[in-house]
Structure 1
């Protein structure tokens, strides 16, 4: 593959103006496939962060975006979508995401093409009138309004940066909240393209801003009293830090922190279909996504047959350069994460785990880890998430053992159940303490239109979804004529 990639120049977008992040911390962005240098990473300085906060606060206090009629906000969101709909924009975003995160181009292209639809969906939500309703009251109709808390901080991760970042931005803008997006320092390029599109679309100055940098600037903004809501997708340590920073002033937080997701295979399952689900869960987005497979729980009587089928499928997976159209799976995002996943594998081996893998490694110098199942560990040693193409295998004899294993971690984001008896599968799934369970299938998409993506336990706080994410940035305001009760409670 050619190494001549033209990445967007690293630029903040603060108060309607693009500027170069002032700080060079001496770190670089590297091609996940080859390790080749791509760009020098840069970060905002204190003054740039303060300028963004000041602009967001000014817009909030003036009410200029909040008081813009919903129909006009919707029109601007549609214009932003149009600016993002060009073929060249999609190509730039998908290429940048692919070489920085390692996700294969077929996946990042889909996300880039979906990007305009995210903003159009938010516009449609506004036109449907969900933020301004009338409900019955004792003395006539009552206004039921949802209005923004104030400036919102949006912190997006390096995995799925386009899909996750755009969902946060579209939701905050639809809610009427001025927002500041801080993307991951490893995958900032789709955010830069969104900022360019926002400027061209005529989004007012200070309404949408972009600040580039690492967790240092994220901490500065989270702790600033001008921020009135925080939406964060990332790791548990970061989520805990944000929750602590927001607790004293009860700042609303939306936290999606990952999951050690369980896939349960009963003896009566279609084992070919189950094996496909296992391999998808290990390889999609290179195992670097919140709902990736974490623990495979299989009924004892079919364990060996299922594992043989999984290994046969894994041997056909093309692990290769993320820009290769033939690649089914690419490298991990950066060398530090690669080292961490290898360390996790070594730890499980040292605790009795047997590594099961059959996917050939490519002849490339990047961060490639073959999808791997680890059999033979004590379930107590596999309770934590490994954010990569690694899953533990545990067997069970009956439903009670299966449920104990399925609910045997402190995380609860996603679950999967395979069984030919759908009634039994639904009954089992309803007992799993997790935000969602998919039966007889494994997909990147949400399972139902309008349904939330919930997080239980240490997987996070709050719900995400089309309506849920917009409403997160708002509070209820109820106004109407009231009866007058007599004094003394008569």
Structure 2
């Protein structure tokens, strides 16, 4: 398999990324070293931001009508459609997410671009406002160069989603993928170039935390969209605060699920197993803690570990795999540490035994322990099961700790379950299901609590990249 060179893209030109720290990208299925990593220099970061600033200032992209931008985005969508299988395989290697899932992401990237373009055309850049004197218009104006900080767990999907909506809105961007999953962003930049997006509108820098810190601290970066860990989000917020850069931060959350007394335990266990094992446990809205009537706690735990054991665990490149490895060794080691800490706190630890010995595999685990669980986010195929005496206690426990992204409620009385869901501190609460996709095409979800800033309903994402400016003739004769 051929791996894309880890280039830096500045002003429409791919340059060598010259910095190296001796680390390698690995196959998470075997632990085999594949290629050495490469990082952009700080001088390249500066030039990438300069190129984005010039492209914003001269209006080469935001000056186009939304319909014209949509044509270029359509060409990029077609380019990505043709490379969906290649992207899927690279994502499966970079993230450990099974190929059956990365194919869904890779196959949907073109549709994401087309949808963003369509929404921008419908919304428009300029709208007439009602005014008795006429001639008052609302303009949507991109803030300026925008940094897109990408996660490692869904490499192409997140790179394409953020880039699609930023470009549809007329913004210029500099992407910084995770150093663990850089390949999809490389292909995306090739596609941007081939699709005729003007040079300088999209740049790409590679590297770890030092490169990311330099990018978000640059005074010329007017907005930052980031998906990743809470510590990184806090650091970005601190760097952006002095200049009041606009922020969209999707961070961590130990999402709780409440299983009500009238719930079918077998159905709930199957849905929860599906939810926590998707993307090899590596998605930010996965259920992390389950709260159930204390008398049924142990029964649910046994049903969950049995459901875990029925899943096919193996290479992320195998078509039959349902649960792959985690993305990198440090991710597995942190999960090992969290499992050990739960055991030391008195948890009964149940785990699947049939797990490959090579690679970054973490045995899917159920930890049985009452209480709120760990303070730090659990990001992998491990689920905590605890008991409650009544639903008030369940809600109190569910809303304790790092929460805010998602919640889940299971029960036969769907109206009652939905009513209980409104008591959870979460931007999205699903009843009797754990799907990754939105429940409605019109969904809009805010990030509550410490889970971030902003939200990720599609219209909200499009709005993030622009400010609103009203220009027109003032009303005559006003008293003030």
Runs of 4 or more above 6 Å deviation: none
Contact residue 185 and residue 212 of structure 1 kept, 8 A: yes
Which of 285-294 and 199-208 deviates more? 285-294
| Residue 447, structure 1, aligned to residue 439, structure 2 | yes
Query: Can you give the 5+ residue segments of structure 2 that lack an aligned partner in the other structure?
Result: none
User: Are 2:379 and 1:387 aligned?
Assistant: yes
- Distance in 1, matches of 2:119 and 2:155, equals 23
Give the Cα separation in 2 of the matches to 1:26 and 1:141.
61
Number of the residue aligned with 1:31 = 27
Give me the TM-score of the superposition, normalised by structure 2. 0.97
Q: Whole-Å Cα distance in 2 between the matches of residues 265 and 338 of structure 1?
A: 28
The superposition leaves residues 24-69 of structure 1 with CA deviations (integer Å, 9 ceiling, x where unpaired) of 1111000001011111000001221111011111111112211111
RMSD: 1.4
The corresponding residue for 2:358 is: 365
How far does residue 140 in structure 1 lie from its aligned partner after superposition? 2.6
Contact 1:56 1:178 in 2 (8 A): yes
Aligned to 2:420: 428
Partners of 2:319 and 2:77 lie apart in 1 by 27
TM-score, normalization by structure 1: 0.95
After superposition, the C-alpha distances for 1:403-455 in whole angstroms (9 at most, x for unaligned) are 11111123210001001111211111111111110001110101211212321
Shift of 1:484: 2.7
**Residue 218 of structure 2 is aligned to residue 205 of structure 1:** no
SS at match of 1:118: helix
Aligned equivalent of 1:304, options 266, 277, 298: 298
Q: Is the 8 A contact 2:65 2:125 kept in 1?
A: no
* Superposition pairs of residues 144-293 of structure 1, within 5 angstroms: 144-293=138-287
Mapped to 2, the partners of 1:136 and 1:222 lie a distance apart of 39
- How many pairs are equivalent? 480
Cα distance change of structure 1 residues 301 and 47 upon mapping to structure 2, 3 Å threshold: same
**Aligned with 1:324 (options 318, 322, 337):** 318
Q: In 1, Cα distance between the equivalents of 2:114 and 2:229?
A: 29
* Structure 2 residue aligned with 1:462: 454
Please state whether the residue corresponding to 2:162 is helix, strand or coil. Answer: helix
Aligned residue for 2:136? 142
Contact 1:56 1:207 in 2 (8 A): yes
SS of residue paired to 2:136: strand
CA distance in 2, matches of 1:178, 1:475: 14
User: In the alignment, what sits opposite 2:389?
Assistant: 397
The reply on whether 1:472 has 2:464 as its aligned counterpart is: yes
Is this contact kept in 1: 2:9–2:189, CA < 8 A?
yes
Residue in 2 that maps onto 1:14: 10
Correspondence list, 1:14-163, <5 A: 14-86=10-82, 89-140=83-134, 142-163=136-157
Matched residues in 1 for 2:455 and 2:262: separation? 33
**1-side partners of 2:478 and 2:68: how far apart?**
44
Is this contact kept in 2: 1:30–1:38, CA < 8 A? yes
Does residue 482 (structure 1) correspond to residue 478 (structure 2)? The answer is: no
Q: Give deviations 1:438-490, integer Å, cap 9, x for gaps.
A: 00111010121121232111110001132111110100011233223456x5x
